[in-house]
């Protein structure tokens, strides 16, 4: 039976319209040779909420992130952010518009200090504006301003003690925190996190979850890609499921995990999974997570070898 939800106008389903969308995408496709990585007819991301983008390996989630944030160019498609068209706009301008992303493999620059990494996250660097660049006092005051902001964020993410350390010396989890903190240097309205939990040890998991929830309390919209189904069910307001480049399901976490299309999407990557385990049982979330982890490990194993 078609269902409704307070975040949605009309009925809940793949590509459904949101009451207050921050991103609206239409007809976005990207092919690599003969492979269609993304083929999304319509997608809307709700404002001020935490939205999870899930799906098996190779579903097109990271490619969709790359397209929306200007790190890749689509074959077709348009999208707007806050009502402003951002199709074809390069990544640095997308960040200035208020849409910032982090990467699956963190991009912190190991040979720069933690603080220097943070300063690079500020969208308007001192010297970017020719007038400011020529007038040294203005240059200096802007630099002081962004350093204060960087220090505040480092304290919030408990990285202040590491301020002068090289980013290369941080643990995987600390680098994820640094990525998130750096993304916040530009005061984004939408932050897009690509697998924030991957490689994070359990000690930092709670802290990362807390930071993501705080982002929402501060009014920031969050879109994240994640294979950890516990995280997805715990913190998301909304879940979007991709498989083979398309949006195959979406809805609140408590219902989307029971959707046959979601089960199919995970089984699609898992022909050897025991169907009896995954269909309809109370452990669906647990099983889907284990399935996703298994695929993930398999993939990383392949990557290690190559
Ligand atoms: N630069 C590229 N060149 C060729 N093929 C690519 C490229 N980037 C992605 N692909 C392919 O596009 C498809 C979608 O990949 P993508 O990384 O977007 O999936 P994903 O859902 O993010 O997967 P994962 O969960 O493993 O990160 C895959 O088949 C992938 O191999």
ipTM of the complex: 0.97
> What pLDDT is recorded for position 122?
78
Please tell me the predicted confidence (pLDDT) of residue 139. Answer: 61
Minimum CA distance residue for ligand 1 atom 29: 58
Alpha-carbon distances of 166 from 111, 112, 160, rounded to whole Å: 6, 6, 13
Closest residue to atom 17 of ligand 1, CA basis? 62
For the segment 71-86, the average pLDDT, to the nearest whole number, is 95
Pocket test of ligand 1: the residue of 39, 59, 265, 301 to mutate, having most ligand atoms within 8 Å of its CB, is: 59
Domains, the chain, in order of start with CATH, read 1-107+187-271 (3.40.50.300), 109-169 (no CATH)
pLDDT score for 1: 57
Q: Is the pLDDT of residue 100 over 50?
A: yes
User: What's the rounded Cα separation, in Å, for the pair 174 and 273?
Assistant: 34
Distance 57 CA to ligand 1 centre (A): 8
Query: Of 127-131, 164-168, 228-232, where does the model show the most confidence?
Result: 164-168
CA distance 293 to 295: 5
Is ligand 1 within 6 A of the CB of residue 53? no
Q: How confident is the model at residue 285 (pLDDT cuts 50, 70, 90)?
A: very low
- 290 phi and psi, to 5 degrees? -60, -40
pLDDT on residue 135: 57
Question: At a CB cut-off of 8 Å and minimum separation 6, what does 161 contact?
Answer: none
Q: Name, in order, each residue with C-beta under 8 angstroms of 50's C-beta and a sequence gap of 6 or more.
A: 212, 213, 216, 222, 224, 235, 236, 237, 238
Tell me, using a 6 A CB cutoff, whether residue 37 lines ligand 1.
yes
DSSP, collapsed to helix, strand or coil, labels residue 271 as coil
Q: Is the pLDDT of residue 165 over 90?
A: yes
| Mean model confidence pLDDT for the chain | 82
Distance 147 CA to ligand 1 centre (A): 37
- 245 C-beta closer than 6 A to ligand 1: no
What distance in angstroms lies between residue 67's CA and the mean position of ligand 1's atoms? 12
């Amino acid at each position: 039976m078609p269902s409704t939800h307070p975040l949605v106008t009309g009925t809940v389903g793949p590509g459904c319209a949101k009451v207050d969308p921050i991103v609206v995408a239409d007809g976005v496709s990207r092919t690599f040779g003969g492979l269609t990585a993304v083929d999304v007819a319509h997608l809307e991301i709700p404002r001020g909420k935490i939205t999870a983008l899930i799906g098996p390996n190779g579903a097109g989630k990271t490619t969709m992130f790359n397209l929306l944030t200007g790190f890749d160019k689509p074959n077709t498609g348009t999208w707007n952010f806050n009502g402003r068209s951002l199709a074809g706009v390069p990544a640095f301008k997308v960040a200035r518009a208020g849409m910032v992303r982090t990467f699956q493999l963190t991009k912190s620059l190991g040979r720069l200090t933690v603080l220097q990494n943070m300063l690079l996250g500020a969208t308007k660097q001192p010297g970017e504006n020719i007038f400011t660049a020529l007038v040294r006092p203005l240059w200096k005051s802007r630099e002081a301003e962004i350093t204060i902001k960087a220090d505040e964020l480092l304290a919030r993410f408990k990285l202040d003690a590491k301020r002068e350390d090289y980013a290369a010396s941080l643990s995987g989890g600390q680098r994820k925190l640094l990525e998130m903190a750096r993304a916040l240097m530009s005061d984004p309205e939408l932050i897009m996190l690509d697998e924030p939990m991957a490689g994070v040890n359990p000690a930092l998991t709670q802290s990362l979850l807390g930071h993501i929830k705080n982002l929402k309390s501060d009014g920031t919209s969050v879109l994240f890609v994640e294979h950890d189904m516990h995280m997805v069910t715990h913190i998301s307001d909304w879940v979007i499921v991709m498989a083979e480049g398309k949006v195959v399901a979406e809805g609140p976490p408590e219902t989307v995990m029971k959707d046959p299309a979601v089960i199919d999407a995970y089984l699609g990557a898992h022909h050897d999974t025991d169907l009896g385990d995954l269909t309809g049982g109370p452990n669906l979330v647990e099983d889907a997570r284990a399935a996703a982890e298994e695929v993930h490990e398999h993939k990383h194993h392949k990557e290690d070898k190559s």
